[in-house]
Each structure stands twice: as structure tokens, then as C-alpha cells.
Structure 1
């Protein structure tokens, strides 16, 4: 299993519009075979932060989706980003 997690930073005044513009990408991701979860959300404390969380079955599933990603206009709005890929060897019930 692959998890992509981290944070994006955009202008605080543009965050809600940025997230609204991501709805199509989120729908496309969730409809992609191998996507177990995909979420972008406004952080409750930092007004310029967007939290990123994706969960995929395999690297191949993730790579198949990657060509769909954000529009260039949206990517240009990102001022900074800290997003990492995690390879999960096992999952346990809490």
C-alpha cells in the first residue's frame, strides 16, 4: 500500500477557491482503480495550509492516475509544499 501525505501552502484568501477547483481531480482519483482514499482539506489552524492524504493499492495504480493531476493554473498557486510518499508493509486494526 502507498500513502501520499503532507501539506500544500497557498494564499489564505485563495484557499477556498483552490479547494473548490480540486473537486474534479478528487472525483477522478476516487474513481481510479486502486485508489483507496483521496482527500484535500483546509487546515483548521493555518489559514494558508491544505492537508493532503492519498491511499493507493500499488505504485502502478498511483502512476496511472498521476497524469490526471492539477491544472497548471492550480499548480501555480502553490507557494510551498511538503508531501511525501510512504510505503506501508502492513495494516493493523486500532
Structure 2
């Protein structure tokens, strides 16, 4: 299991625009083989922060998605002013 988690920082007035523009990417990721979860969501407290959470069955699935070439024009996103996103390799999973 592979988890990608953290946050992005964008201009406070640009967060809604950023999230609207990545909706298609989120939909594509969720339909991709091996994707267990894919979320880019507004932080409930900080107006310039976007929370990132992805869960993949394997690195191969993640890399296959990232290298896929969805049809459509590239989207110009608002600038990302900062990021703290990390990759976590999970060796065991159990009930909480």
C-alpha cells in the first residue's frame, strides 16, 4: 500500500479555482486501477491550504496513472506557493 499525503498552499482567493480545475483529474484517478482513494480538499481552517490524500495498491498503479495521457487540453492551474506532500510505503494494514 502506498499513501501520498500532505498539503498545498495557494493564494487564498484561488483555492476554489484550483479545486474546480482538478476535478477531472480526481475523477480519472478514482477510476484508475489500483486507486483506493484520491482527494484534494479545502482545509477547513486555513483559506489558502488544500489537503492531499491518495491511497494506491502499489507503486506500479501510481506510476501507471501518473504516466497515463488523458485526452483533453492541459489545464493552467493557479500557482502553488508551497507544498508539504510525502509518500508513505505501508507494510501492514489492520482494523483501527
TM-score in same-fold range (> 0.5)? yes
Within-5 A mapping of 1:29-40 = 29-40=29-40
Within-5 A mapping of 1:1-16 = 1-16=1-16
Aligned mate of 1:85, from 80, 87, 96: 87
Q: How many residues align?
A: 92
More helix by share: 1
Aligned-residue CA RMSD in angstroms?
A: 1.6
* Alpha-carbon shift at residue 68 of structure 1 (Å): 5.0
Q: Gaps (5+ residues) in structure 2?
A: none
Aligned position for 1:62: 62
Are the counterparts in 2 of residues 40 and 51 from structure 1 also a CA contact under 8 Å? yes
Q: What does the per-residue CA deviation read over 1:25-81, in whole Å, with 9 as the maximum and x for residues that have no partner? A: 000000100000000000011110000000000000000111359x4622x511111
Aligned position for 1:73: 76
Structure 1 stretches of 4+ moved >4 Å: none
Q: Find the aligned partners of 2:91 and 2:16 in 1 and give their Cα distance.
A: 35
